[in-house]
Structure 1
Amino acid sequence: MPSRNINLTAEQDAFVEEIVRAGKYQNASEAVRDAVRGLQQRLAADELKLELLRTHIKAGLDALERGAFTEVDDADLDATLDGLATSATR
């Protein structure tokens, strides 16, 4: 298994020591490997969210090009947004 030296802050080191002492991990390497797996999962989830956002933006732009939208006057904007928020929570 490859080896790598890393520097932790005092707080991070204390946390790793605490969870190892508590028996949640057998050693610091195991704890750090689990943290890296969590980072990998978070980055993958962020990529999926970004791709979904891009898909929604494209759908919105396509709808604009087709003319599939409703214009809202500035005076009605708050009420329209409130209505959208209310229907979204249902």
Structure 2
Amino acid sequence: MILATRNVVLSQRQHELVDSLVKSGHYQNASEVLREGLRLLEREHEEDQAKIAVLRQAAEHGWSDLASGRFDDVEDDDLDSFVRQLGIRAAEAQSAG
């Protein structure tokens, strides 16, 4: 494993946060704090990418259904009820799965 040294510029608030985390004993030094922050950013990025992939797949499925005529035409007055029912069905499917 190659460890690279980098100089970073922190705001006063960030500097104080790093210091307080080290002083609290949660981390041994500032490098550990920054590495943990980068791990969190990496995980957040991966989760965002996964969400985007699911949304793209859902959109493609929706467009395919629309093009094939597989859709329900809902009147404006019934839209709230229709969406509520979709939420109930989705919750039931999630708890069953």
Bigger relative contact order (CA 8 A; separation at least 6): 1
Q: Which residue of 2 aligns with 1:60?
A: 62
Number of aligned residue pairs: give it. Answer: 90
Distance 1:20 1:82 in 2: 48
Distance 1:23 1:17 in 2: 10
Letter in 2 for 1:5: N
Letter in 2 for 1:82: R
Identity %: 34
Letter in 2 for 1:27: N
CA deviation after TM superposition for structure 1 residue 33, in Å: 0.9
CA deviation after TM superposition for structure 1 residue 71, in Å: 0.4
The answer to whether 1:7 aligns with 2:9 is: yes
CA deviation after TM superposition for structure 1 residue 7, in Å: 1.2
- Matching residue within 48, 51, 56 for 1:49: 51
Q: List alignment gaps of at least 5 residues for structure 2.
A: 93-97
Letter in 2 for 1:14: E
Q: List alignment gaps of at least 5 residues for structure 1.
A: none
Aligned-residue RMSD, C-alpha: 1.3
